[in-house]
């Protein structure tokens, strides 16, 4: 291989441009960029002249990552099991990953997947795979040139599960020709085949260069012109129906489908009423005081200063009042954040009316009137400061009938484990940065958190 190390951006990070390699904790290796299938969702490169690494070169790159301490390799092939030399590559990966030092991940298709493939995938180190259902409407699958069969997906899932491989099963909302009823039938299919816990349900995005984007006008599809290029409506989905269908899927699954905009409440944060200086890419700007509404002009000026310093950073505005404030303060802060420079992150949850990049949280140090707290919770995330033992008295109600808990003071191992077992994980935050990091790693499952 030529020039594995191109440049070093961060400690323990190696970047390789041909092929693209990033070596942090989650390794990503693109070994085949050709699109074998005429899938209109992702065929931007089907006419491009791209290099495909042969089996031994691919295996050598994986071995190099292993030797450098990588833990996970993600293959970015659009369809891993349809790449040239798939079976010899599995044999090579089994050889190079005999110690199982690496966890491997890829996306596969049900068509052509055999029981022997499932066995070898597991042996090579693929503990988790993504498989596309996309839709249960066969006419829709034909229309997007996806083809395939939902029954084959179920059969492939049974084979992979039989080898102990976990799955992510994709169901897309907003495909041309699909209706809300088709998506709900897809949910029925997932549930009937035991795949609902592994479902990924998400709205369609029309990427530049794809055939589906080129035909959007004649298909009656309206989409956002900026990343993530999310579909806003189709001939069979109104904008409201798209959101209602996603929310219906969440209700069926009993979980939120999109990333939760978890506020950064560890430590003391930045003092909002102080002069603003350059800081980290993700900061929490705390405003503490008796009458925050009376100081609203200062709060807005501080937010403006923070946004000028880092217009594309992650920002949590944390209001920590000693007494209730008029709800107009939340509206003023949100309006100022909405005026900030848009980005991919700020648009990521726009279909839900949320901003993943710039958020508002309210932290209560003392109990406040219940009706006021409920009104604030309808507009922002609210956390009450509590000790671990105190929070355990209401663990099941945190984030439901009660505000979330920002845990202060010492937390022993038993209390930590009990909170993890009984409370909604997103409704518990810690003032202690070390405990917040452990919660993020062990309970929320974000192993690459820092």
> Which of 314, 282, 262 has its CA nearest to residue 445?
262
Q: Per-residue pLDDT for 76 more than 90?
A: no
> Which of 275, 260, 286 has its CA nearest to residue 381?
260
CB atoms closer than 10 angstroms to residue 395:
19
Strand (E) positions, 187-296? 199-203, 222-223, 231-233, 270-271, 282-289
Is this prediction's pTM over 0.75?
yes
Distance CA 338, CA 320 (A): 21
Name which residue leads in pLDDT, 14 or 173. 173
User: Please, what is the angle between helix 328-338 and helix 296-309, to 10°?
Assistant: 20
Mean pLDDT in residue range 11-20: 29
pLDDT at residue 446, as a whole number = 79
Task: Give tens-digit pLDDT for 268-306.
Answer: 999 999 999 999 889 999 999 999 999 999 999 999 999
Mean of all residue pLDDT scores within the chain: 87
Q: Per-residue pLDDT for 449 more than 60?
A: no
**What is the DSSP track for 360-374?**
EEEEESS---HHHHH
Mean pLDDT in residue range 156-174: 96
pLDDT at residue 52, as a whole number = 67
Mean pLDDT in residue range 71-83: 90
Task: Give tens-digit pLDDT for 104-118.
Answer: 999 999 999 999 999
Task: Give tens-digit pLDDT for 214-231.
Answer: 999 999 999 999 999 999
CA 361 to chain centroid: 20
Task: Give tens-digit pLDDT for 182-204.
Answer: 999 999 999 999 999 999 999 99
Mean pLDDT in residue range 367-395: 97
Distance CA 358, CA 406 (A): 20
Q: Per-residue pLDDT for 30 more than 50?
A: no
Q: Per-residue pLDDT for 264 more than 90?
A: yes
Name which residue leads in pLDDT, 314 or 261. 314
pLDDT at residue 345, as a whole number = 93
């Amino acid at each position: 291989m030529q020039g594995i190390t191109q440049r070093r951006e961060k400690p323990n990070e190696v970047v390789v441009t041909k092929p693209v390699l990033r070596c942090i904790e989650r390794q990503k290796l693109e070994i085949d960029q050709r699109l074998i299938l005429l899938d209109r969702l992702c065929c931007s490169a089907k006419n491009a002249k791209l290099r495909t690494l042969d089996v031994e070169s691919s295996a050598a790159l994986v071995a190099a990552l292993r030797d450098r301490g990588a833990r996970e390799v993600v293959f970015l092939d659009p369809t891993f099991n349809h790449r040239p030399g798939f079976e010899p590559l599995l044999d090579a990966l089994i050889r190079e990953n005999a110690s199982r030092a690496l966890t491997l991940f890829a996306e596969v298709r049900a068509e052509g997947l055999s029981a022997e493939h499932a066995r070898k995938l597991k042996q090579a180190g693929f503990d988790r795979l993504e498989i596309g259902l996309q839709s249960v409407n066969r006419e829709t699958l034909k229309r997007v040139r996806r083809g395939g069969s939902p029954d084959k997906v179920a059969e492939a899932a049974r084979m992979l599960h039989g080898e102990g491989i976990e799955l992510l099963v994709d169901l897309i909302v907003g495909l041309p020709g699909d209706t809300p009823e088709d998506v709900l039938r897809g949910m029925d299919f997932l549930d009937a085949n035991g795949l609902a816990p592994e479902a990924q349900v998400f709205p369609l995005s029309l990427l530049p260069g794809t055939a589906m984007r080129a035909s959007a006008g004649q298909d009656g599809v309206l989409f956002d012109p900026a990343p993530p290029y999310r579909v806003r409506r189709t001939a069979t989905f109104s904008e409201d129906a798209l959101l209602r269908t996603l929310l219906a899927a969440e209700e069926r699954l009993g979980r939120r489908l999109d990333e939760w905009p978890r506020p950064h409440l560890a430590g003391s944060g930045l003092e909002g009423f102080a002069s603003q200086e350059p800081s980290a890419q993700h900061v929490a700007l705390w405003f503490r005081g008796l009458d925050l509404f009376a100081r609203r002009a200062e709060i807005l000026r501080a937010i403006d200063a923070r946004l000028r310093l880092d217009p594309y950073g992650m920002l949590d505005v944390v209001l920590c009042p000693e007494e209730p404030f008029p709800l107009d303060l939340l509206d003023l802060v949100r309006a100022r954040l909405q005026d900030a420079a848009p980005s991919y992150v700020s648009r990521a949850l726009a279909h839900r009316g949320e901003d993943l990049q710039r958020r508002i949280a309210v932290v209560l140090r003392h109990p406040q009137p219940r009706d006021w707290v409920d009104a604030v919770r309808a507009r922002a995330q609210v956390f009450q400061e509590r000790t671990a033992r105190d929070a355990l008295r209401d663990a099941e109600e945190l984030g439901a009938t009660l505000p979330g808990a920002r845990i202060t003071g010492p937390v022993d191992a038993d209390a930590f484990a009990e909170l993890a077992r009984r409370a909604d994980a997103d409704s518990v935050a810690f003032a202690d940065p070390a405990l917040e990091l452990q919660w993020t790693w062990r309970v929320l499952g974000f192993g690459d958190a820092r």
